[in-house]
Amino acid sequence: MVPGYSIRRVEKQDYEGVLQALNALTTVGSVSKAQFEETVNHWNNVKVSSGPDLLQYHPYVILHGEEVAATGMMFIERKLIHECGLVGHIEDIAVSPHHQGKQLGRALIDHLTDLGLKHCYKVILDCDDSNVKFYEKCGYSRAGVEMQHR
C-alpha cells in the first residue's frame, strides 16, 4: 500500500466518505444512511454459492487516517462455463479529489485484482479508451467491446 494509507473492506461508518469519493466518479444522487447500511449488510451476507464460504461482493476503501481516500468494488460472478468457473468484475473505482496523484487507483486495482485472481479464472473491467494504458500497466489487456442499452 502507498505509505500513509491503509486498505480494508467497506464498513457502515464509511457512509459519508464513500459517497463523497463516488461523487468524483459519477452521479450518486440521494442515498440515505439507512440505504447505505442495508447495502453494506447485503454485501456482507451474499455468498457466491451455497458451498464454499466465499462472499460475492468485495467493496474496499483506502483510508488516510480515518478519511476515505478511494473506494472500489470487485464482485464475483458464478458461471457454468469453465467448470462452474468464477469471474471477478471490477467496478466503480473512485479516488477522492484531495488524494489524487498518489497512485491510489493503482494500489486499489492491484488489491482487487489479486483478491479476484485467488478465486476466479479471470478478472475483467470496462473502461474508457483513455484509461486503457493505465490498465495495461496494471497487467490487463484488451478483451473486447463494452456495449450498453439505456
Query: Rule CB under 8 A: which residues touch a copy of itself?
Result: 18-19, 22, 25-31, 35-36, 38-39, 41-42, 45-46, 49-51, 56, 73, 75, 77-84, 89, 91-92, 113, 116-117, 121-129, 132, 135-136, 138-150
Question: Residue 121: exposed, middle, or buried by beta-carbon count in 10 A (0-12, 13-18, 19+)?
Answer: middle
| Minimum separation from the CB atom of position 109 to a copy of itself (A) | 9
Nearer to a copy of itself, 7 or 48 (CB): 48
| Minimum separation from the CB atom of position 22 to a copy of itself (A) | 6
Sheet order of strands, 57-64 included: 6-9, 57-64, 67-78, 86-95
| Minimum separation from the CB atom of position 4 to a copy of itself (A) | 26
Q: Name the CA radius of gyration of the chain, rounded.
A: 16
Nearer to a copy of itself, 36 or 106 (CB): 36
Q: Looking at this protein, which amino acid is placed at residue 33?
A: K
Nearer to a copy of itself, 39 or 67 (CB): 39
Query: For the chain, how long is the longest CA-to-CA vector?
Result: 44
User: Of how many residues is the chain composed?
Assistant: 150
Nearer to a copy of itself, 6 or 49 (CB): 49
